[in-house]
Copies of this chain bind each other. A is one copy, B any other.
Amino acid sequence: MKRTKPTSTIDPTRAEHCRVLGAVLDRIGDKWTIMVVAVLTNGPARFTTIMREIGGITHRMLTLTLRGLERDGLVKRTAYATVPPRVDYELTEMGRTLITTLVPLAQWGEANWQAIRRAQERHDAQFA
């Protein structure tokens, strides 16, 4: 077997997976998106309700986050022409499937965050 260039050992399939995964994380890895999705998991909710439930998010960021989710087809926005205005947000089918894929990651977090904590302390202790 001839091996002229043994530099790259990543198989293309894995590389492709990785690129898509990176794109997804880029999209949902921001500060608020998953919080909003989490709240909407409980069912449709109004703007102010979401804001209260999350706690700490600003008016502006909730607007932007919801716009992004709506644009990607993960959230459906329904505005009622009443006074005062009323707008409902709810997850689309695609939005709901997204959360299920995050469950393993959340479980991993719960299972490992203490170990990570300890690893950090051990590491930091070396350069005290």
A29 nearest CB across to chain B (Å): 3
Asked if A88 is at the interface (CB within 8 A of a chain B CB), the reply is no
Tell whether, in the assembled complex, residue B108 and residue A24 are in contact, meaning their CB atoms are under 8 Å apart: yes
How many copies of the chain does the oligomer comprise? Answer: 2
Tell whether, in the assembled complex, residue B9 and residue A106 are in contact, meaning their CB atoms are under 8 Å apart: no
Question: Given the complex, which residues of B lie within 8 Å of A17, measured CB to CB?
Answer: 38, 103, 106, 110
A15 nearest CB across to chain B (Å): 8
Asked if A39 is at the interface (CB within 8 A of a chain B CB), the reply is yes
A48 nearest CB across to chain B (Å): 10
| Cβ 8 A contact of A7, one of B8, B43, B49, B98 | B49
Q: Mark contacts of A1-18 with chain B using CB atoms, 8 A cut-off: 1 yes-contact digit, 0 otherwise.
A: 000000111100011011
Kindly state the separation between the CA atoms of A17 and B103 in the bound complex, as whole angstroms: 8
Which residues of A are at the interface with B, using a C-beta cutoff of 8 A? 7-10, 14-15, 17-18, 20-26, 28-30, 34-35, 38-39, 41-43, 49, 52-53, 70-74, 94, 97-98, 100-110, 112-113, 115-116, 118-120, 122-124
